[in-house]
Amino acid sequence: MIKTMKRFWVWAMGMCALQGTLSAQLTLEACYRAARENYPLVRQFDLIERTKDFTVENATKSYFPQLSFSGKASYQSDVTKMPFSIPGVEFGLDKDQYQLVLELNQTIWDGGVVRNRKEEARAKSEVQKGQLEVNLYALDDRVNQLFFGMLLIDAQLVQNTLLQAQLVRNYKQVQACIQQGVANQADLDAVAVEQLNARQTESELRVNRKAYAEVLGLLTGRKGIDAERLVKPSVTVEPLEENRRPELSLYESQRRQLSVQEKGLTARYMPKLGVFAQGAYGDPGLNMLKGGFEPYYIAGLRLSWNISDLYTRKNDKRLLAASRDDIDVQEAVFRLNNRMEAAQHWRTVEKIDTLMKNDDELIRLRTNIRKSAEAKVANGTLTVTEMLREVTAEDQAKQAKALHEIQRLQALYDIKYTMNH
């Protein structure tokens, strides 16, 4: 029973440790999500949507009955007079007149103006969202630079640890050689100098990693990134022709907005039809021959047609066509630069692949040379300084391999970012 309990606690502690290790891992995709959620611009999505809803709602209310109230008091220099006189009958209008009017207008057909205003609001919203997506997409590149920078430092720290372990073995070897009389204190000091250099390099790498982690933490809103273990991502990118960058969607949204504006040109010069009703109280009333205040009303249909927009319609269409051509040029330039950038990244991957073919062989040869140098030092046929040169050369070969692996991975992610695969 006691053994069973002990096994249970060992298993429980192991699971807790494993859970803590897993929770301390940080992936590149998690950084992407956190950066987007943390970036202040993301709040504009809600503001853009609300602005669109308010604008569309206001445009819809243009169909509601429009009520207006007006008042007028006037004095005129002359009034209408009869060209003849009738005995016993006096006729004349007052030169001062007063009027209070309450008018109700209801649009029956507006030529599509309200519908176009709603479409323009939606199109403008899509353009604003597209521009925001472009700005937010640029965060991925910043995250890539920081994340892979930390990965490279981690690889260098691993190699630095191996180098320090190797130098500890060399230090002990030289100590043994001193006892055998084939080395001296200066040789031991030379190894100690290399150990100090390795520790200084480690300190510098850790400071740099902390700086990267602080910037990545600010960008993603996460704390304690320096203490988390970065998970090396894996990616397979094929040289696809398809490009899914958000800039292309933005260009399409801008074209749709121009199409809506072009429809608005037609809607502006179409005739407008509506009904109206007026209720008024004034002096005089509708009967001009009858003096004094009295109420009255007028109701009917109203047709209006303002053709002045026809004067500028041709130039307005030319302006929209010029704007559409400008968008086409911007897209063509973007696609060209994008293809050149992707091709450059592919050349980088091919170059690194060529270098990596020889990395393992170089490390194997450098390791053999270093071991041979250590044996010669033990035999007294090689100086410690020459041996340390081979130790450094082996370390540089291993660092080069680690650097190539991270650089290749980053180049693939650069391609993924460039084409949005």
User: Residue 11: what pLDDT?
Assistant: 39
Rounded average pLDDT over 230-250: 82
User: Residue 249: what pLDDT?
Assistant: 93
Give the burial string for 61-79 (b: 16+ CB within 10 Å, else e). eeeeeeeeeeeeeeeeeee
Residue in 234, 158, 149 with CA at minimum distance from that of residue 401: 158
Average pLDDT in the chain: 85
Rounded average pLDDT over 192-207: 94
pLDDT band for position 144 (50/70/90)?
very high
Place of tokens 């090396």: 232
Percent of the chain exceeding pLDDT 90 equals 33
- For 260-290, how does the pLDDT look when each residue is reduced to its tens digit (9 = 90+)? 999 888 888 888 889 989 889 988 877 776 7
Out of 22-31, 221-230, 359-368, least confident range = 22-31
Q: Rounded to whole angstroms, how far apart are CA atoms 321 and 328?
A: 11
Given a contact cutoff of 8 angstroms between Cβ atoms, the answer to whether 259 and 120 are in contact is no
User: Residue 6: what pLDDT?
Assistant: 39
User: Residue 22: what pLDDT?
Assistant: 39
Residue 15 has pLDDT above 50, yes or no: no
- For 28-57, how does the pLDDT look when each residue is reduced to its tens digit (9 = 90+)? 999 999 998 888 888 888 888 888 888 888
Q: Dump the DSSP string for 224-288.
A: -GGGSEEPPP-------S----HHHHHHHHHHHHHHHHHHHHHHHTS-EEEEEEEEEEEES-S-T
Q: Rounded to whole angstroms, how far apart are CA atoms 300 and 274?
A: 9
Q: Rounded to whole angstroms, how far apart are CA atoms 104 and 137?
A: 51
Question: One-letter amino acid identity for 189?
Answer: D
- Residues 218, 219, 222, 225, CA torsion sign: negative
- For 307-342, how does the pLDDT look when each residue is reduced to its tens digit (9 = 90+)? 877 788 889 889 999 999 999 999 999 999 998 998
Q: For residue 53, give both structure tokens.
A: 């809803």
The domains found in the chain, sorted by start residue, are 25-80+90-419 (1.20.1600.10)
Given a contact cutoff of 8 angstroms between Cβ atoms, the answer to whether 383 and 355 are in contact is no
Residue 237 has pLDDT above 80, yes or no: no
pLDDT band for position 24 (50/70/90)?
low
Residue 126 has pLDDT above 80, yes or no: yes
pLDDT band for position 241 (50/70/90)?
low
Residue 214 has pLDDT above 60, yes or no: yes
Residue 75 has pLDDT above 80, yes or no: yes
